[in-house]
Every structure is written in structure tokens, then in C-alpha cells.
């Protein structure tokens, strides 16, 4: 299984129970401890981490540099969180992001660090990259490769899995791994004139719903992702409660601020790109997710190189050509008798979408040209139906089971005060944690 990090395009936060004066105590644990003790202390981020405790082969030829992007590097390895020499070993699998030497990359790196601290405040957001903390690598500078622009690393926990785009079947069908993790099956065929057409309605609804739920929490925190696409949605195969995880906040901004750089992915970006609407910036993410949903839905938009080419033309030429009226575009394709369009298979898929009125209405609203007219993440969930409204309510109440306690075997819920997760990913109740330690 390929390792991916959930965070800067790749990383998810780790958590361990150790004594605060003996080792690393992550933010969510200190929040829980403060809440259970009745204090008003609110910890804003994880403590600075000890660079000497990372087990990472930093040099490029060490084989552990996972990915190099336009703005920097991400490395993965272990972090020794063992509280003392006599304690049982605790190791966290981590991903560390560092910028390259470009001044804009360095500035963007520190802005991303602040976004992650905001996400992690008060215990983080389930279904979103879980930021651990920062590390000053100056003491081990000699071990680092050339080309690093700053010594302050952003740290997440790694997770086994890949991003959503890796599971797009090149034939346009349903990936067995994706279907199994998200617990969806091939949708029933949709009737169209002269036959039937297979579009992935259940997969589309599932991807939309599972991404919209954590997106509501991000927007409540005033965070706009600005690059919500399949490559920035991780399939977390070992987290049944939150199998999709939003990653990579390198382009994110807070509500009321402006982007530092005019970066955007044209295929997924709304017409107001690169800058979100001042009055309703959250709608920027809604448009992105609408295009993602359309791509997941239609086999012609994911099938091999033709699918990539089709998606590019549909998103940047055809839909804008109909003034971002998705229904008008789909109708034109579905009724095309003059061979005006390329990629003929897409015509039948558009006809099938028109015969799925609830899903069609949702996607039309998400892709509205006017940001003010797009629904909020919560309104999108309401349009998906009662099942997703109930899931959102459970999410808000913190009644999501994080798995069974490693000591007593009973469910551990997100709302349980004092809960913790060990290096192996097992959750414990607060009382059971004492027995564990």
C-alpha cells in the first residue's frame, strides 16, 4: 500500500497519551484534559516537536522524500513519542512539509502553517488533515538536503491510502477499492430515450456528502480551502467513520482575507477565481466540489486520457459557454442531433443526469455562476436528503464512533472527554487510558 500524507497535499495528525512534562502532548488531548478538569485553558496548537526524535532519511537518495511540489517538499518517517526510557515504545508515523528557497514559497508555507493551527484549535476537525504541530529543524540542519527555504516544518500524521483521483477507473467504471471503502455499489441504470445509461449516482452522492460534512466545520471556522479537487481528497481506507479526508491547505485562506498568490486549478475553479467572493467566500469551495461531483458521476469524464481531455473542455469551454447553466448545457448535449459536440458518449450521460432531478438540481445550484446563489455546505447536505442530514447532526454532536476502546471494548465517541488514540491508532476512554498506561 502506498503511503500518502494527509495535510499539505499529504498528511494526517497523530495523537499519543504521554505526560506533558515527559513528552509530546497533542492539541486535542490538552483540550480534552482542560475540558474535563473544568479549566478555561484553550490550547491553540501542538507543542513544538523535538527534531532529534524524528527518524527520517532527509537526503533525496535516502528514499523517503515522498513528493516534491511547486512550493516545496514533503518527507515522511517516524517520531519517537515514548514518554520515558521505561515506557512502552510509542512511534508516530509523520509527514513533514518544508518550503523551497523561493521567497513566495516560504511566505506561503508560513501562511499554511497558520491555517493548520486554526484547524487544529479545539481538537481539530474529523475528516480533515489532522495537524500535529511544528518542528524547528535548525539543530539537524546538516542532515537536510540543499534547497530548503525554512527550518520550520509543518507536521501531520501519515495514513495508508491514496487520493481520490487514483481510484478513477480508466475504463470509466467503479473502482472496487473505492466501492468497498465507501460502501457503495454500481448504481442502477438510468432510463434514457432508446435504452439505459450507467452513471454513478450513488458514488457521486457519497463523495459529495462525505466531503460536505467536514467542509461545514471548516467554513464555520472561517477557512476557505480554494483547491478542493479529487487530488486533495484522500481515501482513508482504515477510517470507516471518515473514509474521505480533505487535505492540502496550501491555497487556503481565512474569511475576509485575500489570497497571497493567484493560484488556482482552472478545471475546477469557479468564474470568480482566483479570489473568492467577499460576501460569500465559502461558495468558492462549493463550485469546486460541484465539478468534482460531476466528474465522479460521469464515466466519460474519468475514462483514460480522453476523460481528462473531456473534463477540461467541459469545465473550461462548454459549461462557461452556456453561462454556467448546467441544465442548459446538459440539455443541449442530450438533444444534440447535429453532432455539434465532441465526446459523443457524454451526450447519453447528460440525458441520464437530466432524469435524476434531485441530483441535477443540486449540481446546478453548486455550479451557479453567481457565488451568492450557490448553497452553503449545509444546504447542499439538506438537498442530499434525510440520511445525510442525520449524519451531519451526528457529526455536529460529536457522536461519531471513533472505534472500540482498546481496554473495555465499548465505542469511543468524538464527544467523549479525555479520549485518546495511541500510536497504533487505537482509541481509549479516559478511565481506560489510566489502565493502559
> Is residue 194 domain-resident?
yes
> Using 50, 70 and 90 to split pLDDT, how confident is the model at 274?
very high
Taking only the tens place, the pLDDT of each residue in 102-158 is: 999 999 999 999 999 999 887 788 999 888 899 999 999 998 888 899 999 999 988
Residues 51 and 123 reside in one and the same domain? yes
Average pLDDT over residues 393-419: 75
Whole-prediction pTM: 0.81
Last residue of a domain, which of 160, 192, 216? 160
Question: For position 121, what pLDDT does the model report?
Answer: 81
Residue 406 corresponds to which cell in the numbers above? 482498546
Residue 363, domain extent: 168-229+265-395
Kindly state whether residue 253 falls inside one of the protein's structural domains: no
Together in a domain, 342 and 366: yes
- Residue 8: all three cell numbers together: 499539505
The answer to whether residues 25 and 120 belong to one domain is: yes
Could you tell me if 210 and 332 lie in one domain?
yes
Q: Are residues 213 and 122 in the same domain?
A: no
Percent of the chain with pLDDT over 70: 80
Mean pLDDT (the chain) is 82
* pLDDT > 90 in the chain, percent: 49
415: which 3 cell numbers? 464527544
Average pLDDT for 80-105 = 88
**Count, residues in the chain:** 437
**Mean local confidence (pLDDT), 384-392:** 94
Lowest mean pLDDT among 355-359, 389-393, 398-402, 404-408: 398-402
Inform me whether the pLDDT recorded for 65 exceeds 60: no
Overall domain count for the chain: 3
What is the C-alpha to C-alpha distance for residues 31 and 9, in angstroms, rounded to an integer?
26
Does 224 share its domain with 372? Answer: yes
148 and 173 assigned to the same domain: no
Residue-by-residue DSSP string for 341-403: SS-THHHHHHHHHHT-HHHHHHHHHHT-SSGGGSPPHHHHHHHH-HHHHHHHHHHHHT--EEE
| Residues 70 and 179 occupy one common structural domain | no
Whether the pLDDT of residue 279 is over 70: the answer is yes
For residue 40, name the pLDDT band (cuts at 50, 70, 90). very low
Answer whether residue 357 shows pLDDT above 60: yes
First to last CA, the chain: 31
Q: Classify each residue of 35-46 as buried b or exposed e, where b means 16 or more C-beta atoms within 10 Å of its C-beta.
A: beeeeeeebebb
Q: From the DSSP assignment, how many helices (H) and strands (E) are in the chain? A: 13, 17
177 lies in a domain? Answer: yes
Amino acid at each position: 500500500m502506498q503511503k500518502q500524507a494527509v495535510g499539505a497535499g499529504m498528511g494526517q495528525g497523530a495523537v499519543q497519551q504521554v505526560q506533558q512534562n515527559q513528552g509530546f502532548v497533542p492539541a486535542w488531548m490538552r483540550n480534552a484534559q482542560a475540558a474535563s478538569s473544568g479549566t478555561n485553558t484553550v490550547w491553540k496548537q501542538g507543542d513544538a516537536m523535538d527534531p532529534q526524535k524524528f527518524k527520517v532519511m532527509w537526503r533525496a537518495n535516502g528514499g523517503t522524500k515522498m513528493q516534491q511540489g511547486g512550493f516545496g517538499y514533503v518527507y515522511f518517517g517516524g517520531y519517537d513519542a515514548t514518554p520515558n526510557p521505561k515506557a512502552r515504545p510509542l512511534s508516530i508515523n509523520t509527514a513533514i512539509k518544508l518550503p523551497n528557497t523561493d521567497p513566495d514559497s516560504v511566505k506561503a508555507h508560513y501562511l499554511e502553517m497558520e491555517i493548520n493551527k486554526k484547524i487544529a484549535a479545539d481538537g481539530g476537525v474529523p475528516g480533515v488533515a489532522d495537524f500535529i504541530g511544528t518542528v524547528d529543524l535548525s539543530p539537524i540542519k546538516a542532515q537536510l538536503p540543499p534547497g530548503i527555504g525554512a527550518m520550520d516544518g509543518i507536521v501531520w500524521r501519515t495514513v495508508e491510502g491514496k487520493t481520490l483521483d487514483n481510484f478513477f477507473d480508466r475504463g470509466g467504471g467503479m473502482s472496487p477499492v473505492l466501492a468497498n471503502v465507501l460502501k457503495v455499489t454500481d448504481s442502477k441504470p438510468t432510463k434514457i430515450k432508446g435504452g439505459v445509461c450507467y452513471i454513478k449516482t450513488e458514488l457521486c452522492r457519497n463523495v459529495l456528502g462525505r466531503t460536505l460534512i467536514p467542509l461545514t466545520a471548516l467554513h464555520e471556522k472561517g477557512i476557505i480551502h480554494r483547491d478542493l479537487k479529487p487530488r486533495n481528497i484522500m481515501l482513508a481506507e482504515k477510517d470507516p467513520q471518515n473514509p474521505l479526508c480533505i487535505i492540502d491547505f496550501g491555497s487556503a485562506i481565512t474569511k475576509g482575507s485575500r489570497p497571497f498568490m493567484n493560484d488556482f486549478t482552472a478545471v475546477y475553479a469557479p468564474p470568480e477565481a482566483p479570489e473568492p467572493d467577499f460576501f460569500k467566500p465559502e461558495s468558492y469551495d462549493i463550485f469546486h466540489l460541484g465539478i468534482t461531483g460531476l466528474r465522479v458521476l460521469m464515466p466519460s469524464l474519468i475514462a483514460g486520457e480522453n476523460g481528462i481531455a473531456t473534463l477540461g473542455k467541459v469545465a473550461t469551454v462548454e459549461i462557461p459557454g452556456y453561462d454556467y447553466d448546467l441544465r442548459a448545457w446538459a440539455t443541449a448535449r442530450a438533444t444534440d442531433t447535429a453532432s455539434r459536440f465532441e465526446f459523443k458518449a457524454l451526450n447519453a450521460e447528460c440525458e441520464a443526469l437530466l432524469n435524476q432531478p434531485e441530483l441535477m438540481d443540486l449540481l446546478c445550484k453548486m455550479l451557479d455562476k453567481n457565488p451568492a446563489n450557490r448553497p452553503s455546505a449545509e444546504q447542499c447536505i439538506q438537498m442530499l436528503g434525510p440520511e445525510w442530514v442525520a449524519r451531519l447532526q451526528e457529526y455536529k454532536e460529536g457522536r461519531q464512533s471513533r472505534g472500540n476502546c482498546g481496554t473495555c471494548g465499548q465505542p469511543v465517541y468524538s464527544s467523549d472527554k479525555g479520549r485518546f488514540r495511541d500510536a497504533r491508532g487505537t482509541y481509549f476512554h479516559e478511565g481506560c487510558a489510566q489502565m493502559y498506561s
